[in-house]
Each structure stands twice: as C-alpha cells, then as structure tokens.
Amino acid sequence: MFPRKVSIHREGHKIIIVAGIILLLINLPLAIILHSGVISVIVALISTVVILAFTSFFRIPNRDFHLDNNKIIAPADGKVVVIEQVEENEYFKDKRIQVSIFMSPANVHVNRSPVSGLVKYQKYHPGKYLVAWHPKSSEKNERNTVVIENEGGVEILIRQIAGKLARKIRFYVEEGDKIIQTNEFGFIKFGSRVDMFLPIGTTIDVDLKQKVKGGVTVIGTLQEKE
C-alpha cells in the first residue's frame, strides 16, 4: 500500500528554497575542488539531512477529518503535558480546564480549530522565549490567543505559545471570522505548545502524556450551555 499524499505547508516554501540554494552554493564548489573527496561527500550527506528535516518540519499529512461540534478536537500534534483546573486571566477571568499540547520539532506544526464557530477574540502578544514546558510560558512567552464560540454559545480559548526554538507564530483568523472545525487557524514554526482553556464540566477524553493528532484526536466533550 502506498503512503497517503503529504504536502508542504506554504510557511515552509521560502525557507526550504533558501536553504536549498545556500546548501547548493556550499556543495558545488566543494564537489568541483575536491571531486569525490570524503569531505565533500560528508557535506553532501549533511545537506541532504538538513533539507529532509526542513521538509519534515513543514509537512501536512493527508488525514480524514470528522466534524462533531459537541467534541473538542486536538488543535495540534504532540503530547498532552497539562490537564488541570486553572484561573484564566486574559479573557474569561475565571476558572477553566487547561489542556496543553507540547509540539516537538518532529511533530506536524499546523494548528487546527478544535470547534466550528465565530472568532470572538484574537490578540497577539510579543514576549519572552522560555522553554515551552515552563509554568509561566503561557503568560510570559510570545503568544497568540483566539477565542471561538460554537453554535451552542460555548466559548473555547486556544493559545499558541512560542518557545526556545519556535520563534515565529503565524495566525490566520481575526475577530468576526467564522471557522470550521479542523480548519487551519495558525502555524508555529518548529514546534512549541498550544494551550486550550475549556469550560468547567467538560469531559476530558485524553490522559497526561498521551500523544494526539491535530484535527483527529478528541480532547473532550462539551456540556450543552444552559
């Protein structure tokens, strides 16, 4: 059986092309000067690994998405590193269930909407670059916050967080936009972390340290708003 089609995200096109040109400019002179020398072969192998790594960083695997607005779908690939009740101070200013997904450089970096609905709030915050698992990274690091209200009137907050390695957050929605569950709302270059803040009473369907797939894994089930 052949693997499903994998495409390259538009955020990676320029980086891959520039990296390819730079590596070509390094490899061609070495190949001409050293011919089949060991050094030129080693550099060529390293260059190949670098290009393959960049290509992997920006891959978009073809996946089957199933919409269900009573479910909260994972906004990112990675590992669940936080499930706890916390005070959310930027938008809700009350207690919520926080579920955080850590994205390593090996994960797919596309961020997908966990629900369908209306973007009620969006704000980008410049900030620090603490390691993504630092307790204060959700409040101190460069980040982008999006709140989506589903058709039942339930609001979900998603926060993209940059870390030590990831220093570029992209977001494609703003207040007033409508978005469909599993559609792209952003991208974090080279990984980091995505936090979700869910209503108290939400049934959480994942466990700590569980690996999840963006747009596929069910994170939780919403209670209907009274």
Position 1 pLDDT exceeds 50: no
Rounded to an integer, what distance in angstroms lies between the CA atom of residue 70 and that of residue 83?
19
Position 218 pLDDT exceeds 90: yes
Rounded to an integer, what distance in angstroms lies between the CA atom of residue 195 and that of residue 73?
13
Position 67 pLDDT exceeds 80: yes
Position 196 pLDDT exceeds 70: yes
**Residue 6: beta bridge partners?**
61
> 59-73, 121-135, 208-222: which range is least confident on average?
121-135
Q: If you average pLDDT over residues 77-95, what whole number do you get?
A: 95
Each residue's pLDDT tens digit, 15-64: 788 888 888 888 888 877 777 678 878 888 888 888 888 777 788 888 88
Average pLDDT of the chain?
A: 86
Q: Buried b vs exposed e over 11-44: b needs ≥16 C-beta within 10 Å?
A: bbeeeeeebeeebeeebeebeeeeeeeeebeebe
State the pTM of this model.
Answer: 0.81
Residue 51, helix vs strand vs coil: helix
Position 97 pLDDT exceeds 80: yes
Task: Output the pLDDT for position 216.
Answer: 95
Residues acting as catalytic residues:
192
Each residue's pLDDT tens digit, 135-161: 565 667 788 999 999 999 999 999 999
What sign for the dihedral angle of Cα 205, 209, 210, 215?
A: positive
Each residue's pLDDT tens digit, 159-191: 999 866 555 788 999 999 999 999 999 998 776
